[in-house]
Amino acid sequence: MRATTIHAPFDLRVEDVPDPVVQDPTDAVVRVLRACVCGSDLWAYRGQSARRPGQRIGHEFLGIVESAGADVTTFRAGDLVVAPFVWSDGTCDYCAEGLQTSCPRGGFWGTPGSDGGQGEAVRVPFADGTLVRLPADAASDDHLLTALLALSDVLGTGHHAALGAGVREGSTVAVVGDGAVGLCGVLAARRLGAERIIALGRHTARTDIARAFGATDVVAERGEAAEAAVRELTGGQGAHAVIEAVGTEQSMRTAVGIVRDGGSIGYVGVPHGSGTGLDLSVMFDRNIALRGGVAPVRAYIPELLPDVLDGSVDPSPVFDLTVGLDGVPDGYRAMDERTALKVLVKP
């Protein structure tokens, strides 16, 4: 089959690789119908996260089960399924409590020895624990299929951020980060009943999506000016709930600056850089909580799926560029240059 590989910073290739097969009886092989490029893939693309030459890449996909091992009981060939961005065994303590990202037998797509999502097919370990079935008729609904793909990462990650930030009915929420995850954080906050959602961002194409997703206010300023603007909008107090969907020192500093005393920062931006951006003395004096991390999206798919199926939650606008498999390197380039928000891949 053909799949995307990374050989060096900015050197992505789409090349022939061995066809995936069932190796363990708990495996399934999934033929990819939709995949996409994540903001976190760019860290590998830019060389800021190390990769071995030739390693696969991509961790978001949905598709059709092609074959399943003897011990797979939940799925069979022909099933439409979505995969979360980590696989997990479905049987350990952590999986049982919905923290599949800590499964000792779990792993990330594209790590050495595993397939990545940006290819024609993927061998899925622990298929019963990992995959979630989708209605068969969704396979013929192009728009719905795109929306469902967001369940593999960005929608669940936005939901995780909103939970970490403590969003509930009537909350005032501020969202730092106008990428696909930040925008899905807006969507998740609205779904959880937030009354006011302040999106920080300066790119109109993105803030327009934020407004469509439920943002009531947009703050285009950055740094201290952004903090002042959010305080101005919140009677000087700041937002109860802050979603941090960037992962830089500056974005975390902004998050601390705009959160209300006693509030919480739900952080899902993969941490980068040497500093944390956290001033613990300020957080201490103001009782600011920090909750989040890598999102156990497998736990959230069953809850979010019905809302995506009935259209009440539609994350599909985050995909603003579609490519075929051969177009993946161009897609990365577009996201790296911020001419695309999130790239959809149709292999």
Does 109 sit near a copy of itself (CB under 8 A)? no
Does 111 sit near a copy of itself (CB under 8 A)? no
Does 99 sit near a copy of itself (CB under 8 A)? yes
Task: Tell me whether residue 77 or residue 96 sits nearer to a copy of itself (CB atom).
Answer: 96
Nearest to 179 by CA among 342, 46, 309: 342
Positions in 258-287 near a copy of itself (CB under 8 A) = 261-262, 264, 267, 270-271, 276, 278, 280-281, 283-287
Please, what is the minimum distance in Å from the beta carbon of residue 270 to a copy of itself? 7
CA distances from 151 to 99, 157, 290, 341 (A): 16, 9, 24, 17
DSSP codes, 192-233: TT-SEEEEE---HHHHHHHHHHT-SEEE---HHHHHHHHHHH
Please, what is the minimum distance in Å from the beta carbon of residue 293 to a copy of itself? 4
Q: Phi/psi zone of residue 275: left (φ > 0), alpha (ψ -120 to 50 degrees), beta?
A: beta
Does 294 sit near a copy of itself (CB under 8 A)? yes
Does 292 sit near a copy of itself (CB under 8 A)? yes
Instruction: Find the DSSP H helices in 59-108.
Output: 93-96
For residue 210, give both structure tokens: 């934020």
Q: Contacting a copy of itself (CB under 8 A), which of 9, 107, 293, 327? A: 293
Please, what is the minimum distance in Å from the beta carbon of residue 100 to a copy of itself? 10
For residue 226, count other CB atoms closer than 10 A to its CB. Answer: 21
Task: Tell me whether residue 208 or residue 279 sits nearer to a copy of itself (CB atom).
Answer: 279
* Site mask for a copy of itself (CB under 8 A), range 24-63, x = bound: ----------------------------------------
Task: Tell me whether residue 116 or residue 164 sits nearer to a copy of itself (CB atom).
Answer: 164
For residue 11, count other CB atoms closer than 10 A to its CB. Answer: 12
Task: Tell me whether residue 28 or residue 299 sits nearer to a copy of itself (CB atom).
Answer: 299
Q: Contacting a copy of itself (CB under 8 A), which of 39, 164, 179, 257? A: 164
For residue 300, give both structure tokens: 């959230």
Does 250 sit near a copy of itself (CB under 8 A)? no
Task: Tell me whether residue 22 or residue 288 sits nearer to a copy of itself (CB atom).
Answer: 288
Q: Contacting a copy of itself (CB under 8 A), which of 145, 149, 290, 341? A: 290
Task: Tell me whether residue 101 or residue 146 sits nearer to a copy of itself (CB atom).
Answer: 101
Does 121 sit near a copy of itself (CB under 8 A)? no
Q: What 3-state class would DSSP assign to 41?
A: helix
Does 93 sit near a copy of itself (CB under 8 A)? yes
Does 291 sit near a copy of itself (CB under 8 A)? yes
Q: What 3-state class would DSSP assign to 10?
A: coil
Nearest to 195 by CA among 217, 179, 212: 217
CB-based contacts of 187: which residues, under 8 Å, 6+ apart?
A: 155, 158, 213, 214, 313, 315
- Rounded to whole angstroms, how far apart are CA atoms 82 and 63? 7
* Site mask for a copy of itself (CB under 8 A), range 203-242, x = bound: ----------------------------------x-----
- Position 69, amino acid: G
Does 94 sit near a copy of itself (CB under 8 A)? yes
Task: Tell me whether residue 230 or residue 345 sits nearer to a copy of itself (CB atom).
Answer: 230
In terms of Cβ atoms closer than 10 Å to its own Cβ (0-12, 13-18, 19+), residue 327 is: middle
Instruction: Find the DSSP H helices in the chain.
Output: 41-45, 93-96, 127-130, 142-149, 154-164, 180-191, 204-213, 223-233, 249-258, 280-286, 297-309, 328-336
Number of residues that bind a copy of itself (CB under 8 A): 32
The sign of the torsion formed by the CA atoms of 309, 310, 315, 319 equals positive
Q: Contacting a copy of itself (CB under 8 A), which of 101, 114, 152, 157? A: 101
Positions that interact with a copy of itself (CB under 8 A): 93-94, 97, 99, 101-102, 164, 237, 252, 261-262, 264, 267, 270-271, 276, 278, 280-281, 283-294, 296
